[in-house]
Amino acid sequence: MADHHRTRPADPTTTANANRDPSMVPVFTTEMYEAAFSTQGSHPMGGVAMARTLEEARQQLADMLIFADPTAPATAEIIAFHRGSPVEDYDGTAGDIFHKVNAGTPGRTVIARPITTGTGER
């Protein structure tokens, strides 16, 4: 750890480098979305996932909702960090929200199935 201590004097050009032209600073245009949900009932669940596109956020939300009881009261939200506000709000049952999210992404292969009762019946 001795190499962390500097014996040289401070570089006076550091301040000059910090005050550089803002047009030369790279701008990152990467969007980030957060998909989150929570359910209520006898087996409450919740989940959060990050995504780079709105379509990916919908996919993540639907993938998480597959494991929830489709009849459980639920809320879900997709938030865009670049806007700092919700992009999509959902309210209803987990099954309803799943179908709303699926409607926004045609061609999906994930299908919601009812939770079994343990006797093999659905």
User: What's the pLDDT tens digit per position in 51-76?
Assistant: 998 888 988 998 899 889 999 999 99
Kindly state whether residue 60 falls inside one of the protein's structural domains: yes
Kindly state whether residue 12 falls inside one of the protein's structural domains: no
Kindly state whether residue 52 falls inside one of the protein's structural domains: yes
Kindly state whether residue 50 falls inside one of the protein's structural domains: yes
Kindly state whether residue 56 falls inside one of the protein's structural domains: yes
Kindly state whether residue 5 falls inside one of the protein's structural domains: no
User: Is pLDDT above 70 for 97?
Assistant: yes
**What mean pLDDT, rounded, does the chain reach?**
75
Q: 118 or 63: which carries more pLDDT confidence?
A: 63
- What pLDDT is stored for residue 101 in this prediction? 83
User: Is pLDDT above 80 for 90?
Assistant: yes
Kindly state whether residue 113 falls inside one of the protein's structural domains: no
Q: What is the average pLDDT across 29-40?
A: 87
- What pLDDT is stored for residue 88 in this prediction? 86
Question: Confidence class of residue 89 from pLDDT cuts 50, 70 and 90?
Answer: confident
**What is the Cα 9 distance to its own chain's centre?**
46
CATH code, domain with 88: 3.30.1490
Q: Which domain holds residue 65?
A: 33-103
User: Is pLDDT above 80 for 116?
Assistant: no
Kindly state whether residue 117 falls inside one of the protein's structural domains: no
Question: Confidence class of residue 102 from pLDDT cuts 50, 70 and 90?
Answer: confident
The count of domains in the chain is 1
User: Is pLDDT above 50 for 46?
Assistant: yes
